[in-house]
Amino acid sequence: MTDTLILEGTAGRFEVQVFATAHEAETAVLNLIGDAVATAITAEDKAVICGAGGSTPKPVYERLHTLDVAWDKVTLTQVDERFVLVDDPSSNTRMMREATSGIEGLTFLSLIQDADQALSAEKAEAALRALNDGEAPVFDVTLLGMGGDKHYASIFPQHPLNASIYDTETLVVPVAATDGSLEPKLPRLTLSVNALNRSRRIVLYITGKAKLEALREAIANPDKDTAPIGAFLKQLAQPVDIIWVA
């Protein structure tokens, strides 16, 4: 049985679905993805999933094959990516490809499209637009995560990118590494807020009490420079499914 709790603050009022185990939470996330994909395929004969990287969603990707959908009509792409070689241990492209390797017919679209960071962003944007006849794509479901520092995608606290990421019409944005004192310590690519806002459904999946408290603080004080996830949720026009496991 699912419990719920309410987080409320300047960013708005949000219901959090609470699960006792990671397996139960992952199943809930999978069901949300499956419903969104099935609806999209019925309506448009195709579907696009946009997924976060990291260790939290990895088991979800590893269980995608359990969903009964027409995978040859589905594209899986990325919310963000570290700008590293795709065989690097820190590469989410590598993780997502390995996690979904058993799904026959699934198309995976990495944000890593070139050895040059700026060109990779441009080529990734072109590839995403190609999914929608040259227009900005609509993601049928986007799976987001959040760091303990309140970042989401590759949009980090105290990063210069916060000055433009909420306004730019660009879909894929290069993210500069910091001097090492703050994250990100590696260069990255991220979808912009404009791109993420084009999601029909957004699922935010977090684990652990520390991240729940970080989310609570971000909703209470959604300053984009100190609590990016709070600023994102505040401007989000559609509801968000928040899944949490202690």
Q: What are the pLDDT digits (tens) for 76-133?
A: 999 999 999 999 999 999 999 999 999 999 999 999 999 999 999 999 999 999 999 9
Cα–Cα distance between 202 and 197 in angstroms, integer?
9
Question: Residue 108: what pLDDT?
Answer: 98
> Would the pLDDT of 215 be above 70?
yes
Per-residue pLDDT, averaged over 42-71, amounts to 97
> Would the pLDDT of 2 be above 90?
no
> Would the pLDDT of 223 be above 90?
yes
pLDDT digits 0-9 by tens, 153-206: 999 999 999 999 999 999 999 999 998 889 999 999 999 999 999 999 999 999
> Would the pLDDT of 7 be above 90?
yes
Q: What is the mean pLDDT of the chain?
A: 97
Question: Residue 181: what pLDDT?
Answer: 87
Per-residue pLDDT, averaged over 216-234, amounts to 98
Question: Residue 1: what pLDDT?
Answer: 53
Per-residue pLDDT, averaged over 139-155, amounts to 98
Question: How large a percentage of the chain has pLDDT more than 70?
Answer: 100
Task: Decide: 190 and 80 in contact? Cβ < 8 Å.
Answer: yes
What is the set of domains in the chain, with CATH numbers? Answer: 3-209+220-245 (3.40.50.1360)
